[in-house]
């Protein structure tokens, strides 16, 4: 499961990397979390960042409490459930990122946070799906979910699921409406494990009040209470 991620590059760097218009409202995030408004690039608007709510609210369930449970969607079930099958066909998106967090469970009360990056922190995308619906006040709402796949080494050492990462060569294919569902699903493959780097970070990442550059720096392994552990 992906519950937190980072997008720390500047607006100018992201504009160049994705060849898109970046809105003035964009802010670098060191602790992006569910329910927040975050940037995506959709298949319907590939030329710019769209700011959507993280937590998919489908037309079949216009309920924000339900959306909190739909921050992630398993790649294996996309063709089995109607809302996801329709979104796979018509509403795909890229979720720009340069890292994500996972927690290694060492006991009933001990979880150690890690940051996972590609290379030295290169920019990539998560594969995502998005939805829109009109609420009772006539306002359009937009939301997204991040697709996950079974974990691969070395992330499998700390968690059984990982977000589906798309490298630059696959991003435009994911947005391409001319591809079949099967061709889109084939893009959700493990990345080269030799490019994956992960390291322990401060347990301050557990608190959403913290969203600063210090969160992405290497820190000695400590549990969620700040107690140092030998098991990093």
Q: Which string of DSSP letters, residue by residue, matches 144-174?
A: EEEEEEE--TTGGGT-SEEE-EE-HHHHHHH
- Is 102 catalytic? The answer is yes
How far apart CA 1 and CA 101 sit, in angstroms, is: 10
Indicate which residue of 2, 93, 131, 171 is catalytic.
2
- Is 2 catalytic? The answer is yes
Indicate which residue of 93, 102, 131, 171 is catalytic.
102
- In this structure, are strands 110-118 and 4-7 parallel, antiparallel, or unpaired? unpaired
167-188 core/surface letters (b: 16 or more CB in 10 A; e: else) = eeebbeebbeeeeeeeebbebb
Distances in whole angstroms, Cα of residue 122 to Cα of each of 34, 61, 62, 107, 207: 23, 36, 36, 32, 25
133 torsion bin: left (phi>0), alpha (psi -120 to 50), beta (else): beta
Active-site positions? 2, 102
């Amino acid at each position: 499961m992906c519950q937190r991620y980072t997008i720390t590059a500047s607006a100018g760097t992201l504009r160049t990397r994705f060849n898109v218009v970046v809105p003035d409202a964009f802010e670098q995030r060191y602790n992006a979390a569910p329910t927040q408004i975050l940037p995506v690039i959709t298949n319907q608007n590939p030329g710019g960042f769209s700011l959507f709510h993280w937590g998919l609210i489908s037309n079949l369930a216009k309920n924000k409490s339900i959306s909190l449970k739909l921050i992630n969607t398993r790649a294996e079930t996309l063709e089995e459930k109607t809302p996801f099958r329709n979104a796979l066909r018509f509403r795909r998106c890229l979720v720009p990122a340069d890292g994500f967090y996972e927690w290694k469970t060492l006991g009933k009360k001990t979880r150690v946070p890690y940051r996972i990056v590609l290379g030295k922190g290169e920019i990539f995308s998560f594969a995502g799906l998005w939805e829109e619906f009109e609420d009772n006040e006539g306002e359009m709402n937009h939301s997204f979910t991040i697709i996950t796949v079974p974990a691969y080494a070395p992330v499998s050492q700390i968690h059984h699921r990982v977000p589906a990462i798309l490298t630059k060569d696959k991003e435009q294919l994911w947005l391409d409406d001319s591809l079949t569902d099967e061709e889109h699903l084939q893009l959700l493959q493990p990345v080269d494990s030799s490019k994956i780097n992960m390291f322990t970070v401060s347990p301050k990442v557990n608190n959403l009040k913290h969203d600063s550059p210090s969160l992405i720096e290497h820190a000695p392994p400590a549990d969620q209470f700040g107690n140092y552990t030998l098991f990093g």
